[in-house]
Amino acid sequence: MKNFYYEYLQTLDKNQLIERIYKPFTKRKDLKFKSTRLIALKISYDGANYSGLAEYKYGNTVGNHIRNALEQSSLGSKIVYAGRTDAGVSGISMVASCEVKSRLESPNQSYSIQDNDYLEFNYDMILNYYLPEDIRITGWAPVPVDFSARFTCTQRSYRYYFDPEGLDLDRMREMASKILEMKNFYNLSKHSDKNARYDRTVDHCEIVEDDLLCYLDIRARSFLHNMVRKIFWVLERAGKGEAVDFNGVGIAPPQNLVFCEAKYPTSLNFIYNNKNKEIYKAQYIKSCIKFKMDDLRYKQM
């Protein structure tokens, strides 16, 4: 069965295909470095064309592309993510901790940005050269040697975007308040790990109205596999006025789900590259124009 990645490749012209195939294998000359250091990376990706974030052998995953970029740039290879996202799910401000080469003899090992951090390699620009356009490193931050993007994280945030037409938002909010009271999410998760513990505490669960679309804003220290998408499925059924059977919970599609934030006891201070900012600005304007055109087409129908 041909998947969404096959369909995505069909949209590329000959030169784009050659660039995508050849570029990852143009290994950079070994960087001249004086030491290694641990840093945090901020990552943004459109998950539509990928089989999730986690690395899989021969898989077209976001993680595989990032590892390839680390190895081809000769920056490093060890990387740990704040969370995992399934096929089709996107990420904004996903955090990863990564051991990389450094230009400095004694690199900063604190959360605060120091003057010599600005003398470092442009980690984001180097990695982005080897990454597809829909996977971007948007910044990097200094961190202590004991920092872990996964284990130091105290809260993870997701948004699930949806069209409110035909849905009773007040009923959805009533169900969201019940989700906050729950302590066991066995019926609201995929049982992919036989050793999983299903006790969880949801810190925040809110339906937010935002222009044309609404979204579920949900936050917790950790989530079970498919937990957010199953929770939204329940909320949507409540919004339609349907009875909810927690013994037969379905799952919402992945495309509307976005990993939005990872929080830590000490805030991370990211260094951003102005060149990247200009690129993102141009892409943002382009996407806004497309949105307006689609909006006009819809209103004329």
Number of other CB atoms surrounding residue 238 within 10 Å: 21
Give the span between the Cα atoms of 64 and 52, in whole angstroms: 10
d(CA 191, CA 209): 32
**Which of 219, 203, 202 lies closest to 260 in space, CA to CA?**
219
Per the CB < 8 A criterion, the answer to whether 150 and 80 are in contact is yes
- Give the strand pairing for 76-81 and 90-102: antiparallel
Question: DSSP of 281-297, one letter per residue?
Answer: HHHHHHHHHHHHHHHHH
| Whole-number Cα distances in Å, 158 to 111, 228, 247, 274 | 25, 8, 24, 27
Q: How far apart are CA 27 and CA 41, in angstroms?
A: 21
Q: Does the annotation mark 86 as catalytic? A: yes
Of 216, 211, 213, the residue nearest 172 (C-alpha):
216
Annotated catalytic residue within 13, 30, 86, 245 = 86
Q: Beta strands 90-102 and 257-263: pairing type?
A: parallel
Question: In angstroms, rounded to a whole number, what is the distance separating the alpha carbons of residues 155 and 99?
Answer: 23
The whole-angstrom separation of Cα 180 and Cα 176 is 7
* Neighbour tally for 245: CB within 10 Å: 10
Confirm if 157 and 222 have CB atoms less than 8 A apart.
no
Which amino acids are annotated catalytic? 86
